[in-house]
Structure 1
Amino acid sequence: MDLNVDNTRNYSGSGNERAGVQNNGAGELNNLFMTLLVAQIQNQDPLNPTDGTEYVGQLAQMTQVQSMETMSKLMQNNSVLMDNLQVLSTAGLVGQSVMVQTDTIQVEDQEINGRLTLGQSANVVTVTVKDSAGVQHKIELGKQESGSVDFTINPKELGLAPGEYTISVVTDIGEENVPVEIAGTVNNVRIPLEGGSALVNVSGLGEVPFYKVSQFGPTNNPSSNNPKQGVLS
């Protein structure tokens, strides 16, 4: 947890440093404009002085530029604030149960609980787990109504060796890109030194971006739906 706090400080500091540089740049631009405007007034032809409306127009343009810069700085400051709030919120996730939308899983010895969401009812729903060699292992869920469907991946029953697998869903109605979520426990949270979204290390998934977390807190026990364990295809 100390590492997370240190990274949070570094992350916040980098945002403040960027804001400081931008403030200096805006001040220099304003000073340069005023210097040029004064020089223009001082060096104008006394016999043919510049129309005062031109100066007013230049001042109006400068005011517009300053307003745009102020808006840009406010947006960037808000972005830094949102990033810092995200860091603070993720720091308390360690040890918590979450669900993550994904198409890959990290298989070890433990069962992996998942959930898919059907847009339409289907008579045949199959969860396919495929290893790096292309060997498929299937979990037949049978007939399912539209909505959320829980399932369990049992590595021992499926004969899955430890490693990374892809996961997908096939139905008899041809529904494509069925969303799949996997349940796991947050092991740690890492804040990239170069900035960007926090990375959450979840059991059964590895490291995933924070924005892929679709649910916080435990889900229902998938075994209550009595899903069939797959057979090697």
Structure 2
Amino acid sequence: MSSVTGTSGTSAASQSSDSGNPSANLTDVSQLQNNFISLMVAQIQYQDPTNPVDSTQFVNQYSQLSQVKSLENLNTIQKNSLVLADNLQNLSAAGLVGHQVMVSADSLQLDSAVVGGQAQLEHASSTTTLQLTSAATGEVSEVALGPQDAGSVSFSIDPQALGLAPGKYSVAIKTSSGETPKVEIGGKVSHVRVSNNGPVLEVDGVGTVPFYNIVEFGSSAA
């Protein structure tokens, strides 16, 4: 009897919680716990004296109910933590407006301004080349960076000196070792937009960049 009553009460409470509020509702859990205790007392009071109910059933069911309440509490704490983390990330991203950042990118938007960047080499390279491919024409332009030791390699792209027309270009670095490091482009954050996937930054010279693509902050990213 007690087993059927406990299962039915839990199912009803779950349906009520799902239809009324998709988040954890501690009030419903507490009410369910109070109802269970009341039913347990009533069942003990009106049980057949010649065939008493096994008390271990009550203990097991109450233990399960307590576990449900603990899980609901944990679920609520986790959801609040995620909301707090999202808010902190949005505030951090908003504070970058007007500041220089270095972002990981495989393309950039060129006009007449010089664009700076860098790459991190794991191996030394006797011949290092920066390749720019026009999205409009497919034409490939190369900038020789010379021999490079392992570590940070800085470069600058002057569209006018290179004779590059304004537009979008894919960018990559080729090395004699066969390594293809990620390209990092520096630019100023013009504004930040909040999306379902987190903050999205508009970086001059790069375009739209997710917040997690930032690899460096501060003046050294200029």
TM-score normalized by structure 1?
0.77
Q: Which residue of 1 aligns with 2:179?
A: 175
Task: Summarize the alignment of residues 85-96 of structure 1 with structure 2, pairs less than 5 Å apart.
Answer: 85-96=88-99
Query: What does residue 73 of structure 1 align with?
Result: 76
Alignment of 1:138-217 (within 5 A): 138-176=142-180, 178-192=181-195, 195-217=196-218
**Is the CA contact 1:128–1:168 (under 8 Å) kept in the aligned structure 2?**
yes
Q: Computing the radius of gyration over CA atoms, which structure comes out larger, 1 or 2?
A: 2
CA-to-partner distance for each residue in 1:103-154, whole Å, 9 max, x for gaps? 1111111111010110000100111111224221111111000000000111
With over 3 angstroms needed to count, the CA separation of the structure-2 counterparts of 1:87 and 1:220, relative to structure 1, is closer
CA RMSD after TM alignment: 2.1
Identity of aligned residues (%): 36
Q: Secondary structure at the match of 1:189?
A: strand
Unaligned runs of 5+ in 1: 1-19, 222-233
- Structure 1 residues 1-233: aligned runs within 5 Å: 22-24=23-25, 26-32=26-32, 34-35=34-35, 38-39=38-39, 42=42, 45-46=47-48, 47-132=50-135, 133-176=137-180, 178-192=181-195, 195-219=196-220
Please report how far the alpha carbon of residue 191 of structure 1 lies from its aligned counterpart in structure 2 after TM superposition. Answer: 1.4
**CA drift at 1:40:** 6.0
CA contact under 8 A between 2:129 and 2:143: conserved in structure 1? yes
On the 8 A contact 1:116/1:150 being kept in 2, the answer is yes
CA distance in 2, matches of 1:83, 1:110: 34
- Quick one: distance in 2 between partners of 1:63 and 1:160? 68
TM-superposed CA distance for 1:45, in Å, is 4.9
Change over 3 Å in CA distance of 1:121–1:76 after alignment to 2: same
Query: CA separation in 2, counterparts of 1:116 and 1:183?
Result: 11
Q: Which amino acid aligns with 1:216?
A: F
Q: Which amino acid aligns with 1:163?
A: G
